């Protein structure tokens, strides 16, 4: 077991004031793998003031100078890939092969991409008699989740630093070990004191300081819609900029002419990534009612190939959930769905054959549009199937949600698929299982949040506009 006893504030590790700790559990064994300290409001405030003091000098550095630091962080992450992947696989439950590729490979790309975007960005523009410049917004509070912990940290901290902002990070207390390793990497990269700070803690303690402190100019939050509303409420008192990446209930719309085998395989994969602990997971499969029996058989065959196993098992395709609480929450939803009359297509609430670990069988249920499981974000390996009579009904069902984060459309006719995708009110739509694009904007409509991450779109979130007007001469 690894014991962490400090927070990273003003360029150094400072022993925590509070003796209370968070226990971090290995999701496959349920054993305590690490402890981190529970930060206090005073420590959060200390970190904010350090970030404020560091902002003038950091923001005055050239873009290239800031990006050189980021290059060093990328090198540090690459050197510690195996250590980081193992930590995240144990914390979160994603199988080790996928953790290395997605949970670490993604952040390595995104740190480098933040520097690339900053180097290519047009920081000034002449508009008539005005010089329009982009400047860093200031001190940024970053509050991040446990499901893709390092990547969600990266998509906030990397572009914020590239933009010239200083940062205070509060990682998830459920999966904080990766953040501690990252802080060590950032320290080794030699960033000036106060540019990056990390305080572990609870949302109602440390998170609320970041959301409400007058010296924080912006708060970037990823997590539940409920918590996001609280962040926005607190931030409103000081009129902070707020970006929110929240929940989802994304629909995969399979049109009648689609390749059903490919569409089912792709949808199941998009649902079960990270054991369904993905905000943009395609958790609602919309299929033509006349093709339901065919789809049902394909789903059952596809689900059977998802081998459950401990996260460090090289042969596991699906790992455990992150915690006992999350497992019970997901099982509760499955039982509720069955009580409401859902048809069990695959899986179910029965305990898998593991003595330890927060495992849940990958489960598929056919539900009705107003059922709880058709509307609530489950955040587990649970796919629901809804049938539709015609395309108009399919589009209505896809949009009949408070969320709007991801989604998909499947059709043999690409132009038709795009026409349907244009009618779905969501931030991203994958056409025929197209791959994720790390340079395209990622974010949601409606109660899935506001603001965007990735590439230059993510960089722009941390910038202000300034227009400087010059006198117009009589000749002009």
pLDDT of residue 325: 97
Same domain, 313 and 190: no
Same domain, 225 and 286: no
Residue at 474 is within a domain:
no
pLDDT of residue 475: 52
Instruction: Identify the active-site residue in 279, 377, 453, 461.
Output: 279
CATH code of the domain covering residue 316: 3.40.309.10
Active site residue 165: no
User: Are 222 and 144 within 8 A, CB to CB?
Assistant: yes
Total domain count, the chain? 2
Q: Whole-number mean pLDDT of the chain?
A: 97
pLDDT of residue 474: 54
Same domain, 240 and 255: no
Take residue 71 and report the two structure tokens written for it: 């290059």
Q: Which helix (H) or strand (E) holds 153?
A: helix 149-163
Residue at 255 is within a domain:
yes
Same domain, 348 and 228: no
- To the nearest whole percent, how much of the chain has pLDDT over 70? 99
Same domain, 189 and 255: no
Same domain, 307 and 360: yes
Tell me the pLDDT band of 329, cut-offs 50, 70 and 90: very high
Residue-wise burial string across 212-223, b where 16 or more C-beta atoms lie within 10 A, e elsewhere: bbebbbbbbbbb
Take residue 107 and report the two structure tokens written for it: 């952040």
Instruction: Identify the active-site residue in 43, 173, 208, 245.
Output: 245
Residue at 166 is within a domain:
yes
Same domain, 329 and 356: yes
Same domain, 296 and 356: yes
Residue at 472 is within a domain:
no
Tell me the pLDDT band of 476, cut-offs 50, 70 and 90: very low
Tell me the pLDDT band of 251, cut-offs 50, 70 and 90: very high
Question: What is the mean pLDDT of the segment spanning 183-205?
Answer: 98
Take residue 74 and report the two structure tokens written for it: 């990328």
Q: Which helix (H) or strand (E) holds 133?
A: strand 130-136
Torsion sign over Cα 429, 433, 305, 26: negative
User: Are 127 and 470 within 8 A, CB to CB?
Assistant: no
pLDDT of 177 above 60: yes
CATH code of the domain covering residue 89: 3.40.605.10
Active site residue 245: yes
State the Rg of the chain over Cα. 23
Residue at 476 is within a domain:
no
Same domain, 258 and 287: yes
pLDDT of 308 above 80: yes
Q: Supply the pTM of this predicted model.
A: 0.96
Residue 74 is part of which domain span?
Answer: 2-246+449-467
First to last CA, the chain: 72
Take residue 4 and report the two structure tokens written for it: 């962490």
Same domain, 41 and 59: yes
> CA triplet 428, 326, 434: central angle to 5 degrees?
20
User: Which residues make Cβ contacts (< 8 Å) with residue 249, sequence separation at least 6?
Assistant: 283, 284, 375, 376, 377, 401, 402, 403
Q: What is the DSSP string of 3-32?
A: E--EEEETTEEEE-S---EEEEEPTTT--E
Same domain, 195 and 290: no
Residue at 86 is within a domain:
yes
Q: Which residues pair with 343 in a beta bridge?
A: 366
pLDDT of residue 28: 98
Same domain, 204 and 351: no
């Amino acid at each position: 077991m690894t014991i962490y006893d400090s927070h990273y504030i003003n360029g150094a590790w400072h022993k925590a004031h509070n003796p209370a700790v968070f226990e971090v559990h290995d999701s496959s064994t349920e054993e305590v793998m690490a402890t981190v300290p529970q930060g206090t409001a005073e420590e959060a405030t200390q970190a904010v003031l350090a970030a404020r003091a560091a902002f003038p000098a950091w923001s005055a550095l050239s873009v290239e100078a800031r990006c050189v630091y980021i290059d060093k962080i990328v090198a540090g992450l690459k050197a510690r890939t195996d250590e980081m992947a193992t930590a995240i696989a144990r914390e979160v439950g994603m199988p080790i092969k996928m953790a290395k590729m997605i949970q670490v490979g993604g952040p390595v790309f995104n740190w480098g991409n933040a520097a690339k975007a900053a180097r290519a960005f047009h920081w000034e523009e002449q508009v008539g008699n005005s010089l329009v410049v982009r400047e860093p917004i200031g001190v940024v509070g970053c509050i991040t989740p446990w499901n893709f912990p390092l990547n969600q940290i990266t998509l906030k901290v990397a572009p914020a630093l590239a933009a010239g902002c200083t940062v205070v990070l509060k990682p998830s207390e459920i999966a904080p070990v990766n953040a501690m390793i990252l802080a060590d990497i950032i320290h080794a990269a030699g960033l000036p004191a106060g540019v990056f700070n990390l305080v572990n803690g609870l949302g109602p303690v440390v998170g609320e300081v970041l959301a409400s402190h007058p010296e924080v100019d912006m708060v970037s939050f990823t997590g539940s819609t409920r918590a996001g509303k609280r962040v926005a409420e607190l931030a409103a008192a000081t009129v902070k900029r707020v970006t929110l990446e929240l929940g989802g209930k994304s629909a995969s719309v399979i049109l009648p002419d689609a390749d059903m085998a490919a569409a089912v395989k792709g949808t199941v994969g998009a649902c079960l990534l990270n054991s369904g602990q993905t905000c943009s997971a395609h958790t609602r499969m919309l299929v033509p009612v006349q093709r339901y029996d065919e789809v049902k058989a394909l789903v059952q065959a596809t689900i059977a190939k998802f081998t459950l196993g401990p996260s460090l098992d090289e042969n596991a395709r699906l790992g455990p959930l992150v915690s006992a609480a999350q497992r019970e929450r997901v099982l509760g939803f499955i039982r509720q769905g069955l009580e409401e009359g859902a048809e069990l297509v695959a899986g179910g609430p029965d305990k898998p054959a593991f003595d330890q670990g927060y495992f849940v069988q990958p489960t598929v249920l056919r539900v009705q549009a107003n059922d709880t499981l058709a509307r609530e974000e489950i955040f587990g390996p649970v796919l629901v199937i809804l049938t539709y009579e015609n395309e108009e009904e399919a589009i209505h069902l896809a949009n009949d949600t408070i969320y709007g984060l991801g989604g998909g459309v499947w059709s043999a006719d690409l132009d038709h698929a795009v026409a349907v995708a244009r009618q779905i009110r969501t931030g991203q739509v994958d056409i025929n299982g197209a791959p994720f694009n790390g340079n395209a904007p990622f974010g949601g409509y409606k109660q899935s949040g506001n603001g965007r991450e990735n590439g230059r779109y993510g960089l722009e979130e941390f910038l202000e506009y300034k227009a400087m007007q010059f006198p117009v001469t009589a000749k002009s």
